[in-house]
Each structure stands twice: as structure tokens, then as C-alpha cells.
Structure 1
Amino acid sequence: MHRVPGATLAVLATVAAGSLAGCTSAGGPPGSGSAGGRVVIDAKRLPSLGTVLVDQHGKTLYMFLPDRKHAVTCTGRCLGTWPPVVVGQGGSPKAGSGGVRQGLLGTVPDGQGRSVASYAGWPLYTYAGDTAPGQTSGQALDDNGGPWYVMRVDGHPVIPSGSPSPGASSTS
């Protein structure tokens, strides 16, 4: 029988716990933010959706209608499915390529002491079901208490006709 040293077990347990919790590879909080607080928001043209926001890894970015702009309402188990784009302490999101407007970028608090990147006031999230850049399998899903929509570079969500819209349920 081969024994595994205790330190090796501790490292394996830490890696496994981080993977299960959805932590970044740098060991940070869940979300697509990078170590050091540098978060770049880019744009990409996708078939049938137009030019939409993506993170620095090419993952599609979404808004959550119940957030009603300026508030993160995806908490608890929701965060495992919809990781927010977390910005490091003191950091701010930067506009990348494709027409992303720096003036529409900002941050909002998530209620856990973290800052989440926002665009036109909407907190930004990725979707765990999108496993490769450019996927949009979270588009128009009604999940965790409301609909999720891909964000366009103009600051508006891509809302299919007949779906709930910010104007219909937003008070801001």
C-alpha cells in the first residue's frame, strides 16, 4: 500500500474544494474576475444575437432582470450557476475591443464585500453552462427567480419578443 503525504492530501483537498466552489484559478472568489482586480470587458459578434459583451476569456456576459439595475440579487446557490464578474478590491472594469464603452462600465456591491462589474447599471454574470467562449446557452433562461439575458454592447439586454423586459418590471 502506498501512502500519500499529508501535505499532498491538503493540496488536493484545497484544489477540489476550490473547483467545487467555483473559485478562480488564482484561488479568488467565484466569478470571472482575474487576480489583481484587472477585469476587461470585450465585445464579440455572435450569430442571431449581434454584438454582445464577453469577459476577457471570451465568455458571454448576462444580466439578471430581478437585479433591476444597481443591485446584485443572485446569491447563495444562484452564484454557482451564474458567477458574477468580480472586480478585485480597488479595481475597476476596463473597456476592451468591439465598441465596449468605458462610460457604461462600473461596479456594484454584491452584499458580501465584493464589487461586481456592471454595464449600463446592470451587474454582469457568466453562465456555468457556457463551457466555451461564445456560447449563449443561458440566454432567456428563467432561473433562480427570473430571466437572464445576454448583454449587448449598446447597454441593453437581448430580449426575445414576448419575454419579460426591464421596462415591464423595473422601477428604475
Structure 2
Amino acid sequence: MKRVASVFAVAVLGAAGLTACGGGNGYSSSGSGSGSSAPAGQSTGGPAKLAVATVGDYGKVVVDGNGRTVYVFDKDTHGTSNCSGGCLAQWPPVPAGNGTAQLTGIEPSLVTTITRSDGTKQLAINGMPLYLYASDSQAGQAGGQAVGGLWWVVAPDGKKITTQPGGSGNGNGY
């Protein structure tokens, strides 16, 4: 009987965990977003860095200071993040850091900072908030491209690149 109760408890906790992730679709469109932790390897103490790198079949795209590909989210609006809750676990915001962002290959007039609902600052390009994809563990990866038909890598001119990834695709958000 004890074993049955343990299995049941694990099943309930697992279901609760999936619910917290926005139903497993990789995004939540409610609210303006929250969460303030900086992505691994990128400090919010100094100025943020953005550069341009050639990534896969997408050509030249915007990357963060660690060379990780950045993305925009179709459910965001100009100057407002709509990624919150479980979405932030998969799509951490690119923090603005302190001071003027250091840019390589990107027109400075395109890059701005937005204030998230929790008061933290996030970089934006053409007014669209920028994110990393948690599953992209190193420079040169773009596993978040076209996830859920909502997430896109960004060209140096600030426009999203909608080229579909090769291979089997990216599922529905994770």
C-alpha cells in the first residue's frame, strides 16, 4: 500500500510540474512577464553585449555576449514581454545589464531596453524583447528556431528570420 501511495504522489507532482510550464507549449501569454535571473554565463553587473554570428542555415543572426543565439517571441508586443511563468524557464530574457549595451555589427539605434513587470531590464531590438533558448547550451546552436511557430532568430537589422529549421522540427514549444 505504501508503494501505491508513493507512485500516486509522484504522478500528482509530475502533473503539477507540467501545469506550471504553461501546459507544455513553451510559452505563456498572460501578463507582461516576470523573473529576474540572468542566464548562465551572463552577468547583469556590467553592460550587456550583443554581436552578430553566422548560425546554421539562418545566416547572420544576433547573439549575446557568450555567442548564444537570441530570439524574439511573436506574442510579445512592441516594448512589452508576454513571456512569464513557465515560459521563462525555457526562454530566459536577455538582461540589459548596467550601462550602454556593447554592440558589434548591430546598429545602436535598433537596440533598446524594456522594463519587465518585475522591474528588471531586458534588451530589445526594434522594440521586441530578446530571449535565449534554455536548450541552446552553447554558441552556434539555434534549437529554438520556429518553436511553436512563435520563436524566431533575429537578423542584425532587427527583423525576425522565419526560415524553418531542417530535419524533424521542434515540436510544440519544448
Fold-level match, TM-score > 0.5? yes
Residue of structure 1 equivalent to 2:144: 138
Matched, 1:85 2:94: yes
Across the two proteins, how many residue pairs are aligned to each other? 128
* Residue 87 of structure 1, CA deviation: 1.8
Residue of structure 2 equivalent to 1:116: 122
* Residue 47 of structure 1, CA deviation: 2.9
Task: Verify the 8 A CA contact 2:146 2:162 in the aligned structure 1.
Answer: yes
Alignment match of 1:76 (pick from 78, 85, 90): 85
- Cα deviations by residue, 1:11-48 (Å, 9 ceiling, x for unpaired): xxxxxxxxxxxxxxxxx723364231410101101231
Matched, 1:148 2:157: no
Q: What SS does the corresponding residue of 2:117 show, helix, strand or coil? A: coil
Alignment match of 1:105 (pick from 103, 108, 111): 111
Task: Verify the 8 A CA contact 1:30 1:83 in the aligned structure 2.
Answer: yes
* Residue 110 of structure 1, CA deviation: 1.1
Q: What SS does the corresponding residue of 1:35 show, helix, strand or coil? A: coil
Matched, 1:65 2:74: yes
Task: Verify the 8 A CA contact 2:56 2:142 in the aligned structure 1.
Answer: no
Residue of structure 2 equivalent to 1:21: none
| Percent identical residues | 34
Residue of structure 1 equivalent to 2:132: 126
Unaligned runs of 5+ in 2: 1-35, 165-174
Residue of structure 2 equivalent to 1:49: 58
Residue of structure 2 equivalent to 1:18: none
Alignment match of 1:29 (pick from 22, 31, 37): 37
Task: Verify the 8 A CA contact 2:56 2:140 in the aligned structure 1.
Answer: no
* Residue 92 of structure 1, CA deviation: 3.6
Unaligned runs of 5+ in 1: 1-27, 162-172
User: Larger RCO: Structure 1 or Structure 2 (Cα < 8 Å, ≥ 6 residues apart)?
Assistant: 2
Q: What SS does the corresponding residue of 2:37 show, helix, strand or coil? A: coil
Residue of structure 1 equivalent to 2:49: 40
Cα RMSD (Å): 1.8
Distance 1:152 1:46 in 2: 11
Task: Verify the 8 A CA contact 2:63 2:69 in the aligned structure 1.
Answer: yes
Task: Verify the 8 A CA contact 1:31 1:125 in the aligned structure 2.
Answer: no
Q: What SS does the corresponding residue of 1:67 show, helix, strand or coil? A: coil
Which is worse superposed, 58-67 or 43-52?
A: 43-52
> What amino acid sits opposite 1:29 in the alignment?
S
- Cα deviations by residue, 1:31-88 (Å, 9 ceiling, x for unpaired): 3642314101011012310110000000000000000221111011111100001123
Distance 2:68 2:95 in 1: 14
